[in-house]
Amino acid sequence: MELVRNCVRLKQRARIDKSGFEVSSLNRRRMFVVRWFSSLSPDIDRLYYLEQLPHGPRNLPSIAHSAIFLFLGILAEYVLPELAFLRSHAPSHVLSSLSLSCNCQESLLPVPSAGYFRSYSTFRQIPVKRYMCFTSTASFKHSKKSCFQMHQKLVQPNLIGTVKAVDEEVSVAVKPHGLENTTICVVFWNYFLYSVKAYTSSPTTILCHNNNKEGKENHETSYLKSRPKEKHKKAESLADLKEELDIDFHQISKEELCRRFGTHPNNGLTHAKAKEILLRDGLNTLTPPKVKPEWVKFCKNLFGGFSLLLWAGTFLSLMSYVMLAATSDKPDEENLYLGLVLAAVVIITGMFSYFQERKSSKIMESFKSMVPQFATVVREGEKVTLRAEELVRGDVVEIKSGDRVPADVRIIECQGLKVDNSSLTGESEPQSRSPECTNENPLETKNLAFFSTNCVEGLGKAIVISCGDNTVMGRIAGLASGLETGDSPIAKEIHKFIRLITALACCLGITFFVVAFILGYHWLDAVVFLIGVIVGNVPEGLLATVTVCLTLTAKRMASKNCLVKNLEAVETLGSTSVICSDKTGTLTQNRMTVSHMWYDNLLIEADTTEEQTGEHNLNASLGYKALIRCGTLCNRAEFKPGQENIPVLRRAVMGDASEAAVLKYMEIALGDVMSIRKKNKKVYELPFNSTNKYQVSLHEMEDLSDPRHLLVMKGAPERILEKCSTIYINGQEQPLDADMKESFNDAYLELGGLGERVLGFCDLMLPQDKFPKGFKFDAEEPNFPLTNLRFVGLMSMIDPPRAAVPDAVSKCRSAGIQVIMVTGDHPITAKAIAKSVGIISEGNETVEDIAERLNVPISQVNPRDARAVVIHGSELKDLTMYQLDEILRHHTEIVFARTSPQQKLMIVEGCQRIGHIVAVTGDGVNDSPALKKADIGKLFYQRLSFHMTKPIKHDQLVIFLFIFFSWVDPRQSVGVAMGISGSDVSKQAADMILLDDNFASIVTGVEEGRLIFDNLKKSIAYTLTSNIPEISPFLAFILIGIPLPLGSIAILCIDLGTDMGTRNPPRSQVVHMSLCELLIGMAYGQIGIIQSVAGFFTYFVIMAEHGFMPMKLVGLRKYWDSESINDLIDSYGQEWTYHNRKDLEHTCSTAFFVTIVVVQWAGLIIFKTRRNSILDQGMRNWPLNFGLLFETALAAFLSYCPGMKKGFRMYPLKFVWWLPGIPFSLAIFFYDEGRRYYIRHHPGGWWDRETYY
């Protein structure tokens, strides 16, 4: 193979002999070629190819062009104390490479899997790349194996060390596997293309475990300790919180649990023992995070960013005034006014930023409001009431209906205990609790109850297993408050742009400050030049313009039920590429509704429209009447009083969600349900419990002449069917034979497959002779029949999708946005809802669907054949980061079910790792970490191929394994909370609140966000065009010595007055924005220059009109500004006093200012559209037309208002002096019309590439 140029051959001597690399690159194929030379074994000559596959990032620079290669030093048995740096001669985008090594007796082979490693991701910015190379030199017992065979053996999962990516750290943990004398060398290589800080602020920690022969404890060696210890500990803490809950308290026996905690199920802890544990573990409270003092936050906003530059200008302006006041009887007050105005601008901007930042500090306050106040505890056999914060692990607590669970507890006794986990897991249904372990997952087992959840029914006794920060809620709180929020894309772009402009301002200011000294100006005059150039360059109105645009969009979104808390989230939502949506209450209506009924051997869709009349039920079949009678009577739910005028489906109900659904349907179908219940008086009830799984009620008959009792029963369909011997079909009782049972099973399975909750109903008319009127039914020992009943039918319920959601999901798909469902509900229910709303498209199959269609086991189906996938939380828990990324990349329609808070966060991070900007919706506490999560830069695997050209047969084997990482450019996610059903915590963590809990409102937000970036480009371009005519007067003032054409205060008036008054509301075109060179080139290099020429033309016209021809003005400044010269001769021989000259100068400055406003008319019009002709676009945008009139009126006000002469140095102008700028304004208009015409007719041409911003 031909080795191309830029080959670097490096050698280094170590304790074991000479070694070296020969590295080259192939430009077209983007291939690394690495040749290893070793004098240890002359016959070893191995060539490895590391090829970048075509699916990799488009923006990866050509390897041949970068010419960056690094040397892997061969290090001996001991850990070297220093780091070896190698800086290659390379382009500026390469930061550095560094190598380090450590010695251990283990094999470090952290390869995700054998075969190809491929990435399909592309980014808006070019990402920083990170390479990690591991070298392992070892002696093997089986020396005759080929390299390929050995490679295949070593990449087996049981031999691989682990590579864990946590925030900005990579931890490498090595598993021993009988390898000896292993030397590990780790090398990091960065392609720097996005941000220097992405690497320098993210050093990596390598953890090497050394198992020596003495059997000493494993110890960790940390390298690159440039991170502060506090941040390192915080990262470790967050990594621990992100791990799934790993406990066995729910699986061990009650006796073992008591033994562990030293407690007794009846007597509890002793007071002394409890006090001892309390002193050791601390209070049962959530630890508030460390927060910066408010004054520090305020000062950071007041003095951060380019505000420092304006503060410097303020200081210099005031100092200039002070110095002039000290040396002159009548100092010029312009510098004083300039300093005061600059200070006001900085203070107002800083205060606005400070108040925007305060919202994140309120998250922990919301968690505090969820902490229970008191708890009933058993201590030394006595019940005592304690403050919940005094509870300790091992305490025996009693929980009853209405209580809030005071800690994470293991249930040891209970009676009908149900808890509301909605704030924790997102499940809307109360969950029954029991002493038995029902699931290995602690979040799903029924014998655990969690801190801050509510007990809604029953009572129980439990043992405290976790307190405070160690509880599930505490872990969520730690995640939500500990996650650092990154800047939004718009904030990064604008800050990057401001840094560029600020650097330019400083360079120009200092340059002309020095030039002024060289030309002999007084130092105070040089300071004035410095201030003028800085003020002219810094876009003071930029942040205000952006804020106005975002605020107007947020106001418009509020009218569409989207309440924006963080203005920058408006734009970020427009950049969204993935929406991770909760199911309950967002995609669905969050109220159970009867969906289907099965009676008379027919499956009927239930009609829940409120326009029904009673005539339908009068003519209905007897089977239907029997079914709705059971549903009406065997139901404990009731409407809350005072809701007669509220639609039935919106009424509040006291009772179980399923019973509420049945009650509402009966109210719609029958009318007044409560009156029917009164006519059929209930005489006995056997409540539902988790053991029986059915509910029974006995009623007197509505017909007073019929003295019999009616028994009605509902419950789990299979249990109800067991109790029945007959079935009611078409008004007749028929034996419940095998055929009817098969029909029942078919209907039951069909309804279950739709994700619906199914209830079975049966009844029995009790014989009068055995159960006469007034019969005493026994509640303890049922003295009435519970078998040989008559099966009536089935009712199924579902939380139905919102009507607007399918259309909203379709809009998202057409706009290139992927919608992922993340729910705590059952996979079958989640899949059914996903299909009904279009998250899983019609015709797309999951692996299970394909297996069922082909009638083959699931294991025989290739997962890549399925576009859709439904993943259970238990499966997600076992996925590696690489496997999750593969799922997110490959499958376009994804549903995650039974997810925990940590898993929701993991899903969001996974989406962000592969380059997506994620919007997250949620309403529970469990959603708060995901809602708050924002990327700071995470690692993910890129796939590469490994090729070997020559097998190795030698007992001294050297293996190279490369892992290719991409450092993802920082991304921001948007948290969207529910306004109606959302918890306070989720609302505090979110950036946006949906006032109607409707997913369709998110799509509205996306549409508005996509518009805002396009409009911001136009607004910023419009704002920047005035910078050139603001700077050029100072350049002419210094270089050619003319009187100052434009004052600093006039510049501020342009930036903060006229530029802010105009803004462009959204239009329909959706584009991607980057504040790039094209925008600056258009604003500065083209339109800005024309505006400067217009300003100077007006300046020279007025000067000539008063006697100073242009050539006369060159070099005149030294005499012009001298107070001692009162007889300066103009071109016509007239004499000018100092004060007369200054009046003329300020008049010209005002005219220059007005001319900029006039030419900005054209700027405002041309920036309204970037491609279409303004003749086609029209001027129908009335707010923009008002802005045009506003800036003109403001310019006139500043010119003619009395008092402006003294404060702003603005002088009245003749009407004719407004006219010189008009030809230039027309020139700008016609020039840009021509440019746009050429772009439209020659797309992709030079003008399109170079001027389309």
* Alpha-carbon 735 to chain mean position: 59
Q: Cα 1183–1187–1190 angle (5° rounding)?
A: 135
Residue 822 in tokens: 């993340």
CB under 8 Å to 313, separation ≥6 — which residues?
A: 338, 339, 342, 531, 534, 535, 538
Q: For the domain with range 254-287+374-482, which CATH number is right: 2.70.150.10, 3.40.50.10470, 2.40.30.10, 2.130.10.10?
A: 2.70.150.10
pLDDT of the residue at 447: 92
- Classify domain 562-587+802-935+970-1008 at the CATH class level: alpha beta
Which residue ranges make up each domain of the chain?
8-235, 254-287+374-482, 562-587+802-935+970-1008, 593-798, 1026-1251
Q: What is the pTM of this model?
A: 0.57
Q: Is residue 966 a contact partner of residue 127, using CB atoms and an 8 Å limit?
A: yes
Residue 1014 in tokens: 């396009």
pLDDT of the residue at 43: 31
Instruction: Convert the pLDDT of each residue in 845-897 to its tens digit.
Output: 899 889 988 888 888 888 888 889 999 888 888 888 889 998 998 898 999 98
Among residues 209, 121, 122, the alpha carbon closest in space to that of 161 is found at 209
State the DSSP string of 976-1001.
EEESSS--HHHHHH-SEEETT--HHH
The 3-state DSSP composition of the chain as helix, strand, coil percent (nearest 5) reads: 40, 20, 35
Residue 779 in tokens: 């509640």
Distance CA 1093, CA 1221 (A): 9
Helices and strands, counts by H and E, the chain: 44, 41
Give the burial class of 533: count Cβ atoms within 10 A of its Cβ; 0-12 exposed, 13-18 middle, 19 or more buried: buried
Q: Cα 414–419–423 angle (5° rounding)?
A: 155
Distance CA 1175, CA 1179 (A): 8
Q: For the domain 593-798, what is the CATH superfamily, name and number?
A: Calcium-transporting ATPase, cytoplasmic domain N (3.40.1110.10)
Distance CA 807, CA 818 (A): 14
Residue 9 in tokens: 């051959």
Q: For the domain with range 1026-1251, which CATH number is right: 1.20.1110.10, 3.30.70.360, 1.10.3720.10, 3.40.50.300?
A: 1.20.1110.10
Q: Is residue 72 a contact partner of residue 136, using CB atoms and an 8 Å limit?
A: no
End-to-end CA distance of the chain: 44
Distance CA 1230, CA 1224 (A): 10
Instruction: Convert the pLDDT of each residue in 943-959 to its tens digit.
Output: 222 222 223 222 222 22
Place of tokens 């069909």: 750
Q: In what order do the strands lie in the sheet with 94-103?
A: 84-86, 94-103, 180-191, 128-139, 956-967, 939-942
3-state SS string for 163-217: EEEECCEEEEECECCCCEEEEEEEEEEEECCCCCHHHHCCCCCCCCCCCCCCCCC
SS3 808: helix
pLDDT of the residue at 502: 74
Q: Is residue 715 a contact partner of residue 695, using CB atoms and an 8 Å limit?
A: yes
pLDDT of the residue at 196: 22
* CA dihedral over 89, 93, 94, 96, signed as positive or negative: positive
Crossing angle (nearest 10°) for helices 523-537 and 307-327: 150
Distance CA 1073, CA 1170 (A): 13
Which mean pLDDT values do the consecutive 10-residue runs of the chain (1253 residues) have?
30 29 30 30 29 32 34 31 29 28 29 27 27 30 30 31 33 33 30 24 29 32 34 49 71 92 92 92 79 78 72 79 77 76 79 62 47 82 89 93 88 88 67 88 87 84 91 76 59 70 79 79 74 68 65 72 68 79 81 91 84 56 92 90 84 84 90 88 83 88 85 93 93 91 92 88 91 81 88 92 87 87 86 91 88 88 88 87 89 89 83 85 62 36 26 25 24 52 54 69 76 72 75 82 79 59 37 51 78 92 92 87 85 88 90 90 79 75 78 86 76 90 91 85 75 64
pLDDT of the residue at 632: 93
What is the set of active-site residues? 582
